[in-house]
Structure 1
């Protein structure tokens, strides 16, 4: 009987602790706009160069939130698998109900594995990304080193036939979870989750435009503030082919 009482006491204490932790949390709702360009350019049949620029705005468009250029070298393992390694610079400005004291920079390197898995009319994609981050938080004299891992599951669905063709619309959906790890993690292992839905239009094989909605749930490092960010996303993809074109031999 004593053991049963002790178990109930432990469960009660755990529930009280969890309730107290929930009471300490503060929630911040924001409305943002992310305007993005992506391009993965072919250098050879195997190698490519990924370029990217994101302009992120608070209050959808009126105020600065972040800007981020990113570049990476890519390598195609097969038609369905590729790896990449690259660098990103992120500059963050104060925004929301619990803003940073000032804007601050971040330098980031990353490694990535991307797998394509088409199933019928669904184009499925898995993306695994490992990030090394050097962040100089507002008011800090030095950079803080952080590790983060990300997993994204994405699917595309044609809206005008069994496959996505030129001059046709399609549906794009993804969910991506971010997890912190390493010695400098403070209050949260969970970093954020992004859920996305958009309508896309394919101009041709190497160009498309997507306009959609992203819900970003962010846990700030202090473990108290949690952001719920409703975000308009506009993304343009335009890929270039820099491979040498073969020329036909002249006829005698």
Structure 2
């Protein structure tokens, strides 16, 4: 019972926080609901085989399943220092276009490198993940101007299996997180991303998640090669995530891998 209360409290916090995020940008025009589709191939590490990695492709649309404007390709290599402590180095390419004029090409293309640390806390049932990420970002804009930025991200993610005590084949689960995006050069607060969803681990390989994300941006537009702060309205999105875990090596007995989204 106490774990059900914890799960309910986790989702209640998300529901309560989402209106607050929208309230911060209420003077801005309301945006339509968007959609994200995320497909990930992952090789989890373990104590016996600490090296792992992943590759991911993601697409986003301004409206539900239409007005496509953004995609990203990324991959990373990870190392499990111990079951609760994982480091990762990753890189990716991110392209943003105007959905009203896709043939004109991207508005900007970003190439990104990042270093990441993940700390995991396992209780009897509720699992907590702390993710720290430091990003280096190179931008090329349609007018051939370019810029470099850095960013710090922190994500607090909770997972709660509903029908089992651990994550294994046939597990139905809840997932929720809040992530802060910070600019070390200022203005400091750049973005807040709030997520809540439900997922199902079909077998030892396949995980499917369906969720909601509220993303409040404090975007920077390019003006003569410089970034200028521009507030934009928070946007609601439906997220479909599919993860395929490669398991060419035997998983040690009792090992549990959380269904974390890599985005």
TM-score surpassing 0.5?
yes
1:216 paired to 2:209: no
Deviation of 1:64 (Å): 1.6
Alpha-carbon distance in 1 for matches of 2:234, 2:44: 37
**Which structure 2 segments of 5+ residues have no match?**
1-23, 221-227, 252-263
Tell me the equivalent position of 2:43: 41
Alpha-carbon distance in 1 for matches of 2:99, 2:180: 22
Structure having the higher Rg: 1
Q: 1:145 to 1:38 in 2, by over 3 A?
A: same
**What is the 5 A alignment of 1:1-252?**
26-27=28-29, 29-41=31-43, 45-94=49-98, 103-139=107-143, 141-182=144-185, 188-221=187-220, 222-243=228-249
Deviation of 1:63 (Å): 1.1
Alpha-carbon distance in 1 for matches of 2:244, 2:93: 21
Count the aligned residue pairs: 214
Tell me the equivalent position of 1:10: none
Q: Do the aligned residues in 1 keep the contact of 2:95 with 2:106 (CA within 8 Å)?
A: no
Q: TM-score, normalised by structure 1?
A: 0.77
Alpha-carbon distance in 1 for matches of 2:55, 2:106: 28
Deviation of 1:127 (Å): 0.6
Q: 1:189 to 1:174 in 2, by over 3 A?
A: same
Deviation of 1:205 (Å): 2.9
Cα RMSD, aligned residues only: 2.5
Q: Do the aligned residues in 2 keep the contact of 1:160 with 1:169 (CA within 8 Å)?
A: yes
Q: TM-score, normalised by structure 2?
A: 0.74
Alpha-carbon distance in 2 for matches of 1:72, 1:92: 21
Alpha-carbon distance in 2 for matches of 1:46, 1:102: 38
Tell me the equivalent position of 1:16: none
Alpha-carbon distance in 1 for matches of 2:55, 2:212: 23
Deviation of 1:118 (Å): 1.1
Q: The residue matched to 2:141 in structure 1 has which SS?
A: coil
Q: The residue matched to 1:208 in structure 2 has which SS?
A: strand
Q: 1:144 to 1:30 in 2, by over 3 A?
A: farther
Deviation of 1:85 (Å): 0.5
Spell out, residue by residue over 1:161-218, the C-alpha distance to the aligned partner (whole angstroms, 9 max, x if none): 4333321311011111101123xx5xx3211111101110011233210001000000
Alpha-carbon distance in 1 for matches of 2:91, 2:157: 23
Tell me the equivalent position of 1:5: none
